[in-house]
Amino acid sequence: MALDAKIIDPMTGEIDPELSTQIDAEQHAALFAKVGQQASRFPLLTRMSDYYSDTEYTTEELESLISEVEHTGGLFEPGSPVYKFTGPFHSMCVLALLRQKVIALYAD
């Protein structure tokens, strides 16, 4: 089971099929082993710390979320399992911001 990240139209609830990503349990554990220790520095990312809970980020939160994702770059080695999530997730957040949509993470 993976945590699925999707772009959602806030008016219709329609899922944007162009870009999505997943974070598996191993990536999630590695991410929050470091980010979880700095919750005040990563308040938006910390909202997805429960792997089995759904999380949504509004359009208004995306700029700050993008910044937080960018700041995780210094915490992990390039090519690490976390980078396999944060790169595509960052791209999704930028695209959602430009399109005025939201990001939702769903635990399946």
Instruction: Round the CA-based radius of gyration of the chain to a whole number and report it.
Output: 13
Average pLDDT value over all residues in the chain: 93
Per-residue model confidence (pLDDT) at position 31: 95
Q: At what angle do helices 62-71 and 83-99 cross, to 10 degrees?
A: 160
Residue 29 identity (one-letter amino acid):
A
* pLDDT tens string 64-96: 999 999 999 889 988 899 989 999 999 999 999
Token readout for 74 is 């210094």
Q: What is the pTM of this model?
A: 0.93
Per-residue model confidence (pLDDT) at position 100: 96
Residue 19 confidence class, pLDDT cut points 50, 70, 90: confident
Asked if residue 56 lies in contact with residue 65, where contact means CB atoms within 8 angstroms, the answer is no
Q: CA–CA separation, 49 vs 36, rounded Å?
A: 7
pLDDT at 56 over 90: yes
Q: CA–CA separation, 79 vs 62, rounded Å?
A: 25
Domains and CATH numbers, the chain: 3-107 (3.40.1760)
Length of the chain: 108
Ranges of H-type helices in 1-78:
25-35, 43-46, 62-71
